[in-house]
Amino acid sequence: MILETDPPLGVSVEAYCRAGFGDELGQDDAAHVASCLQAAQSAVETATRRPLTPRRVRFETVAGQGRRWWVPVAPARTLIGVSWTGEDVGETWLAADAARLAFAGSEPQILFAPGALAGVPDGAALSIVLDVGPDTVPPTLAQAVILIARDWIDAGIAVETVESPRIAFGARALIRQARYRRPTSWCRQ
């Protein structure tokens, strides 16, 4: 997944403070909390495959594997477009009616119309651009973000220098409950 737009924070510094983890933060403390919240949000989104806030993303795959492609994250909002790139041609966008988004909220899939990929050589690079993310942050995932950020702040972990920060048991349990599992990548039908 390649971000086309920067995602906003799903949990604000104010929400973190209201949860009882900070009364009056100075400007430097608030900036540190915000960076911990951003890193915790990224960890939760990666672990659950559920974006917490709306954003535009691009997925890359390969043509010739079928007519149904499962989106690796949920929920999806809107299919912006599908393009392909070959060795001798630049980026070519498919017609707007060549593909549609189905089951956007629960199990998002891109369904290609019959013959929509006929002009696309097998093995060509496909780019699928979507708007993804919910209207509101799911409360359990917001709680996981707060728990992770609080744990990192209490432990004095500098999120900028840690490749794989630890995640406490409570947050892991919340993440496990919300994880999105798609059936497969492609389906011939």
Give the chain's radius of gyration (CA, Å): 19
pLDDT of residue 27: 62
pLDDT of residue 118: 92
pTM: predicted TM-score of the whole model, two decimal places: 0.83
Per-residue pLDDT of the chain (189 residues; tens, 9 = 90+): 788 777 899 999 999 888 876 666 666 688 888 999 999 999 999 999 999 999 999 999 999 899 999 999 999 999 999 999 987 888 999 999 999 999 999 999 999 999 999 999 999 999 999 999 999 999 999 999 999 998 888 888 776 655 555 677 778 788 888 888 877 677 766
Of 41, 51, 48, 43, the closest CA to residue 3 belongs to: 51
Amino acid in position 109:
Q
pLDDT of residue 2: 84
Sheet containing strand 55-62, edge to edge, reads 2-3, 55-62, 125-132, 76-85, 91-93
User: Is residue 100 within 8 Å of residue 18, measured between CB atoms?
Assistant: no
pLDDT of residue 28: 67
DSSP string for residues in 122-149: TT-EEEEEEEE--SS--HHHHHHHHHHH
pLDDT of residue 9: 94
Distance between CA 49 and CA 42 in Å, rounded?
10
Distance between CA 51 and CA 6 in Å, rounded?
12
